[in-house]
Structure 1
Amino acid sequence: MLELIEYWRAEGLIHFGSTLASVRNKGYAIVKRLISASLLLKCNKGNVLVKMHDVIRDLALRIISRMDSGCRFLVRAKKMIEEPPKNEEWENVNRISLMKNKIVNLPERPIVILS
């Protein structure tokens, strides 16, 4: 759970207080509220203490991708794919998740062909 809070901090989602302890305390409070609202589920598998249901995750990705923030996601997690996404799929993307796949190498930079 601490790793999740550190990601939030790195993304600038939580930055309350000037100390690392105050940021972590705020992060734990947020996690507790998300669990209470059933947006996160408790999970005790190894180092994983919380997880998000796939449906909630998909909905959150759709909402954030449609917002005026311009933040677009390319998610191909747990699809067991062996090849990276096509070049066109990389266009206008801010965040990429290809975790738990069989991809061995990614291009340094996708090649975008302009027509």
Structure 2
Amino acid sequence: MAEIKNLSIPDLVRFFSNPNHDGVCPVCGKDEWTVNSYENQGSNEILINTLPQVRYDSDKNTAAILGASHVVVPVECDNCGYTRLHGVRRILSWLENNPEQENSDDAEKSDSKDL
């Protein structure tokens, strides 16, 4: 299973706000989305889903569920409910390869606190 301990809601906001993501719903054309999450005792927790791995034998017409194989974050259109899934591994990889830029004003405040 993908490592998700470092994934936060601010990370998801940054990931989905990057210019490479088209925010338009392919079904209704709106651009309002919600990442399924809930607030639990003051800390935001992300609801992560897993897609099961299934082995299908077409000769015998049988299937066996092998377990969870792909960890995803569901994102739902606020207008029509269309749901898209984003792989956690890809999100974490993007976050690692695109570190958050520190705001120069925040850096100055941080530096002055250290003095």
TM-score, with normalisation over the residues of structure 2? 0.24
Normalising by structure 1, report the TM-score.
0.24
Greater helix proportion: 1
Which structure is larger by alpha-carbon Rg, 1 or 2? 2
Structure with the bigger RCO (C-alpha within 8 Å, sep 6+) is 2
